[in-house]
């Protein structure tokens, strides 16, 4: 709430670079919650990150962690969902401000207490929020925070006025009003303070000034609250005049009625703490509408009712509740007029005095609630049109709406705050089971409980049904988990016996509300094998134009049947996926389903092949003919190598699942080509296990096809993957099988590549002399075949082997030859490997400056390519060189960057780098990163 600073015991900690303060500010705003790498990159570089942005971000994180660890170790941690600043939120002035403001809003607070809390909150402001942080994220954030400050200032002024201290607030409120001259609540507070101090002419002059500014700048008149204050000042009054209209009489009767319509809370409610806290904060900061959306069975009603009971005391004038039956199996949604009549009756309005006209009902309803602290829960709404007439018009009320649809118009037009309720976390799901079955029973069978949670897709409705059945049967949880194991029978198992609590039935209410085209797309999505799907893949699956598919996907998102994970990317949980697949098998002919699967696999195979060609343009031609794409697919062609890398980073789990589906459907050419097209990416990113799985599938596919050359390639690359996984015996078997097949086929290039793979195996087995033999054999074969790129690779490998044998001068000569040839060919990845090898040779010759320069050349290339494992490997060696040269701070920085990448990749080499940092820290008496 001022410049970004870290203060320890009153002493500021210097962060240095401006971008470090930006990153820390982003983490502090979400203190205690994970912030994804993508979010950090987007906010730091405002949607236009430079190449290698993630690497730069890791460096920033390392530097911040190092600065913080000196005072509070392990407060900046990495979790699967992102980075977390794991500190008490009261250590951040923003969160302390919000807590104080929320405490001041408590209905049981005495006016003096409220005044003191708000004074403390306002005292935390130190000027312009995020004063030294530039960019659109900071600008957007400042707007929200300034509004919160104005709300707190007005509330403080009101408290002082009630205590008879009007004169004491004039100076501060006048200063704020000068800064925000169009803030009407601030102007009203200033007018009341001036009038209370006997300065009525100044109060009236303030009104006229605001009125003129509103007319000049916005073309509007003052709002009702400011006009009311003006009239009260004119008359020397503070209370509005009494009226004798029928509406006023109804309002008078309502003052005596305090409806309490909340249904019983759900037994055993568990989890959702973040959403509960966010709703609390919204009430405390003056929000008036919350819209909770989510898929069927995700627990929206349970959350709404639980939270409503939790905060009921904040709304002493009553709590209203209605089930709008927006997705009732009968199709009979509650008419807004019906709900209004119920609400008016709850406030004591006789039925004979309730207007027949819907607009008049709504007007009377708003009048009844004006100025009251009332909570309104509108549960299970179908759309915004059903909700809008039921919204109170007073800022003192709070309305909580739940719906399977996202109610986007309510957010856009009415200022509702959206809350998307997702599946439970595993911990929340465990807590739900414990609340229903008892902690001892769940703890006695943790594996079975975990299986039940996974097979219920962490969906609260499914978990509640499973718990109820397990409770009734009293069988071991493992027995019930086995019943849920069959994905085809799972929805039948989760049948509680009536439509309201049957998972399949609850899903069907949303499905039946879809247009026919959206229903067809939903069924097709059940055929998709992966965890999520892009809009273009969905279009190919359904055989639709991309634009049409996007419209239908938006309908499915609005209906809560799928989730949009990111722009143009969609997913649904396993139970909904199973429901969609069941529907497809029931409704769609077999030929249609097979055609859809072929279209989908064609989309992935051809897009992945195009991406691989962009990333690795010098790669040998594919040995197995790529089938032409069928009609009806939408090809997604990446524009450049960076776009190709990004596409594969997102899609590779889907491609692995697609390869398995291809094998299951007998589409072996697709299965083989998917392995081929993923290989460069999986190698560059260090996904050795996925690489082995992909090539195991390709070996089986090639053997079923009877294509010996395709089998040779698959065995060779499976051997390479096993070598990286330290499965040396398996690697040896596959590589020699590949060598035999290439030899039988007379394929010298294939033999050469296999010899290079065998050389790598020998190196990992600590046999550099045998590695040199294989690499020299490969060099001869490449040269004889006129394969210049292979020859360049082999030259570099021979040079590396000489390094391992201690012959560094010979190594320099060979690696320099390789570098020259790679440059002539235009092979940037090969050029990077040659620079890295040259750096290693120079390092061992004691040429530290030359070695560091070579490593930096390699890093420039490899960061541009996106090969993160290679980048980490080179950074580690650069750190070794810098340590040897006595540049300890630079070595620490290089190793810190390498460690961040390896940790992110989950690679075992992280332990080696961490040990280097620890050793350096012990040597220099500095804390390790």
Residue 928 pLDDT greater than 60, yes or no: no
Winning range, highest mean pLDDT, from 144-148, 305-309, 402-406, 832-836: 832-836
Q: Sign of the CA dihedral 681, 687, 690, 695? A: positive
Cα–Cα distance list, 701 to 609, 629, 719 (Å): 18, 19, 16
Q: How confident is the model at residue 446 (pLDDT cuts 50, 70, 90)?
A: confident
Tell me how far apart the alpha carbons of residues 471 and 489 are, in angstroms, rounded to a whole number. Answer: 20
Return the residue matching tokens 């100044």: 202
Nearest of 225, 223, 186 to residue 206 by alpha carbon: 186
pLDDT score, position 171: 87
Please report how the helices 546-558 and 516-525 are oriented relative to each other, as an axis angle in degrees rounded to 10.
Answer: 90
pLDDT score, position 247: 46
Average pLDDT over residues 39-53: 80
pLDDT over 90 percentage in the chain: 34
Residue 453 pLDDT greater than 60, yes or no: yes
Cα–Cα distance list, 417 to 275, 287, 349, 413, 702 (Å): 12, 8, 31, 11, 54
Nearest of 126, 192, 181 to residue 156 by alpha carbon: 192
pLDDT score, position 243: 31
Residue 375 pLDDT greater than 60, yes or no: yes
Cβ(225)–Cβ(188) under 8 Å? yes
User: For residue range 150-168, what is the model confidence (pLDDT) as tens digits?
Assistant: 888 888 888 888 888 878 8
Q: Which residues of 26-42 are buried (b: 16+ CB within 10 A; e: fewer)?
A: bbbbbbeebbebeebbb
Cβ(879)–Cβ(898) under 8 Å? yes
Tell me how far apart the alpha carbons of residues 150 and 454 are, in angstroms, rounded to a whole number. Answer: 47
Q: Provide the β-strand partners of residue 76.
A: 85
pLDDT score, position 282: 87
Average pLDDT over residues 321-328: 83
Q: Provide the β-strand partners of residue 569.
A: 534, 566
Average pLDDT over residues 886-897: 93
Cβ(319)–Cβ(260) under 8 Å? yes
Least confident among 30-39, 527-536, 681-690: 30-39
pLDDT over 70 percentage in the chain: 93
Q: From the CB of residue 296, how many other CB atoms can be counted at a distance below 10 Å?
A: 23
Residue 316 pLDDT greater than 60, yes or no: yes
pLDDT score, position 82: 79
- pTM confidence score: 0.61
Tell me how far apart the alpha carbons of residues 793 and 818 are, in angstroms, rounded to a whole number. Answer: 7
Tell me how far apart the alpha carbons of residues 298 and 560 are, in angstroms, rounded to a whole number. Answer: 10
DSSP-derived secondary structure for 255-291:
TT---B-PPPPPTT----HHHHHHHHHHHHTT--EEE
Residue 595 pLDDT greater than 90, yes or no: yes
What DSSP designation does 404 have? S
pLDDT score, position 20: 83
pLDDT score, position 473: 67
Higher pLDDT, 767 or 341: 767
Residue 899 pLDDT greater than 80, yes or no: yes
pLDDT score, position 431: 85
Average pLDDT over residues 644-668: 92
Average pLDDT over residues 193-215: 87
Tell me how far apart the alpha carbons of residues 892 and 917 are, in angstroms, rounded to a whole number. Answer: 7
User: For residue range 215-234, what is the model confidence (pLDDT) as tens digits?
Assistant: 887 777 887 778 888 888 88
pLDDT score, position 493: 64
Residue 36 pLDDT greater than 90, yes or no: no
Higher pLDDT, 368 or 590: 590
How do 289-293 and 398-403 pair as beta strands?
parallel
User: For residue range 471-492, what is the model confidence (pLDDT) as tens digits?
Assistant: 666 677 887 787 777 666 667 6
pLDDT score, position 330: 54
pLDDT score, position 542: 93
pLDDT score, position 246: 45
Residue 251 pLDDT greater than 60, yes or no: no
Nearest of 339, 413, 351, 414 to residue 379 by alpha carbon: 339
What's the mean pLDDT when you consider all of the chain? 85
Cβ(739)–Cβ(751) under 8 Å? yes
Average pLDDT over residues 39-58: 80
pLDDT score, position 106: 59
Helix (H, G, I), strand (E, B) or coil at 484: coil
Cα–Cα distance list, 665 to 555, 582, 670, 755 (Å): 30, 18, 10, 35
Nearest of 432, 421, 420, 439 to residue 456 by alpha carbon: 432
Higher pLDDT, 718 or 314: 718
What DSSP designation does 502 have? B
Tell me how far apart the alpha carbons of residues 681 and 216 are, in angstroms, rounded to a whole number. Answer: 60
User: For residue range 358-369, what is the model confidence (pLDDT) as tens digits?
Assistant: 787 888 888 788
User: For residue range 659-706, what is the model confidence (pLDDT) as tens digits?
Assistant: 999 999 999 999 999 999 999 999 988 888 999 999 999 999 999 999
Q: How confident is the model at residue 876 (pLDDT cuts 50, 70, 90)?
A: very high
């Amino acid at each position: 709430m001022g410049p970004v600073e870290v203060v320890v015991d009153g002493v500021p900690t210097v962060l240095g670079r401006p971008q470090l303060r930006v990153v820390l500010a982003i983490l502090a705003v979400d203190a205690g919650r994970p912030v994804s790498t993508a979010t950090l990159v987007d906010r730091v570089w405002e949607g236009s990150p430079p190449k290698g942005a993630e690497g730069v971000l890791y460096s920033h994180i390392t530097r911040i962690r190092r600065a913080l660890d000196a005072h509070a170790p392990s407060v900046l941690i990495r979790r699967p969902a992102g980075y977390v600043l794991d500190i008490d939120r009261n250590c951040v002035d923003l969160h302390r401000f919000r807590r104080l403001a929320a405490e001041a809003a408590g209905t049981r607070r005495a006016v003096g207490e409220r005044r003191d809390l708000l004074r403390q909150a306002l005292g935390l402001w130190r000027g312009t929020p995020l004063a030294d942080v530039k960019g659109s994220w900071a600008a957007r954030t400042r707007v929200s925070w300034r509004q919160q400050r104005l709300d707190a200032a007005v509330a403080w002024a009101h408290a002082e006025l009630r205590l008879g201290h009007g004169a004491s607030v004039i100076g501060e409120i006048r200063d704020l009003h000068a800064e925000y001259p169009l803030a009407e609540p601030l102007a009203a507070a200033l007018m009341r303070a001036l009038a209370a101090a006997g300065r009525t002419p100044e109060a009236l002059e303030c009104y006229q000034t605001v009125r003129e500014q509103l007319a000049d700048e916005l073309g509007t008149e003052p709002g009702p609250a400011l006009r009311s204050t003006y009239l009260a000042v004119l008359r020397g009054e503070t209370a509005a005049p009494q009226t004798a209209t029928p509406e006023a009489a109804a309002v008078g009767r309502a003052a005596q009625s305090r409806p309490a319509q909340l249904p019983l809370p759900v037994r055993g409610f568990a989890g959702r703490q973040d959403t509960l806290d966010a709703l609390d904060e919204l009430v405390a900061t003056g929000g008036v509408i919350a819209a909770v959306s989510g898929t069927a069975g995700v627990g929206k009603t349970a959350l709404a009712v639980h939270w409503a009971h939790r905060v009921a005391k904040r709304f002493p004038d009553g709590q209203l509740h209605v089930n709008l039956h927006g997705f009732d199996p009968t199709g009979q949604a509650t008419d807004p007029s019906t709900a209004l009549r119920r609400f008016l009756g709850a406030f004591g309005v006789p039925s004979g005095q309730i207007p027949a006209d819907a607009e008049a009902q709504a007007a009377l309803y708003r009048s009844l609630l004006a100025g009251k602290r009332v909570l309104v829960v509108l549960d299970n709404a179908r759309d915004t049109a059903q909700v809008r007439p039921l919204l109170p018009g007073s800022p003192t009320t709070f309305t909580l709406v739940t719906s399977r649809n996202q109610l986007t118009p309510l957010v856009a037009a009415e200022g509702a705050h959206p809350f998307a309720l997702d599946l439970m976390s595993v911990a929340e799901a465990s807590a739900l089971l414990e609340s229903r079955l008892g902690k001892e029973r769940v703890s006695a069978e943790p594996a079975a409980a975990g299986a039940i949670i996974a097979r219920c897709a962490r969906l609260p409705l499914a978990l509640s049904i499973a718990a109820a059945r397990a409770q009734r049967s009293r069988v071991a949880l493992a027995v019930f988990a086995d019943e849920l194991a069959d994905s085809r029978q799972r929805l039948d198992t989760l049948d509680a016996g009536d439509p309201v609590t049957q998972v399949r039935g609850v899903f069907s209410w949303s499905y039946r509300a879809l247009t026919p085209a959206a229903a067809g797309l939903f069924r097709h999505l059940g055929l998709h094998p992966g965890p999520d799907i892009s809009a273009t893949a969905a279009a190919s699956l359904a055989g639709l134009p991309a634009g049409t598919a996007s419209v239908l996907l938006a309908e499915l998102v609005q209906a809560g049947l799928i989730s949009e994970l990111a722009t143009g990317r969609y997913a649904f949980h396993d139970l909904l996926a199973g429901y969609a697949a069941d529907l497809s098998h029931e409704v769609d002919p077999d030929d249609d389903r097979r055609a859809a699967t072929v279209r989908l696999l064609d989309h992935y195979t051809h897009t992945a092949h195009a991406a691989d060609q962009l990333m690795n343009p010098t790669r040998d031609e594919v040995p197995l003919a790529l089938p032409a794409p069928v009609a009806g697919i939408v090809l997604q062609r990446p524009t450049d190598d960076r776009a190709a890398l990004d596409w594969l980073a997102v899609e590779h789990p889907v491609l692995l699942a697609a390869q398995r589906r291809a094998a299951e459907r007998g589409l072996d050419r697709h299965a083989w080509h998917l392995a081929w097209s993923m290989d460069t990416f999986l190698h560059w990113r260090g996904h050795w296990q996925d690489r082995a799985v992909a090539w195991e599938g390709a070996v089986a596919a090639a053997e079923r096809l009877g294509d010996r050359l395709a089998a040779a390639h698959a065995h060779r690359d499976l051997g390479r993957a096993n070598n990286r996984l330290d499965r040396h015996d398996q690697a040896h078997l596959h590589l020699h099988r590949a060598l035999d097949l290439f030899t039988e086929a007379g394929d010298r290039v294939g033999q050469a590549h296999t010899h290079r793979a065998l050389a790598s195996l020998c190196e990992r087995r600590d046999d550099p002399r045998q590695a040199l033999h294989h690499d020299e054999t490969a060099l001869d074969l490449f040269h004889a075949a006129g394969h210049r790129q292979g020859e360049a690779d082999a030259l570099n490998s021979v040079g590396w082997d000489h390094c391992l044998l201690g012959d560094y001068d010979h190594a320099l000569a060979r690696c320099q030859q390789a570098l020259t040839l790679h440059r002539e060919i235009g092979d940037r990845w090969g050029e990077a490997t040659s620079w890295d090898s040259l750096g290693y040779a120079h390092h061992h010759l004691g040429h530290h400056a030359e070695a560091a320069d070579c490593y930096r050349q390699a890093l420039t290339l490899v960061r541009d390519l996106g090969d993160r494992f290679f980048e980490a490997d080179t950074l580690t060696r650069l750190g070794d060189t810098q340590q040897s040269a006595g540049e300890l701070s630079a070595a620490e920085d290089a190793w810190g960057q390498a460690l961040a990448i390896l940790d992110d990749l989950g690679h075992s080499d992280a332990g080696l780098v961490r040990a280097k940092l620890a050793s350096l820290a012990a040597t220099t008496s500095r804390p390790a990163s």
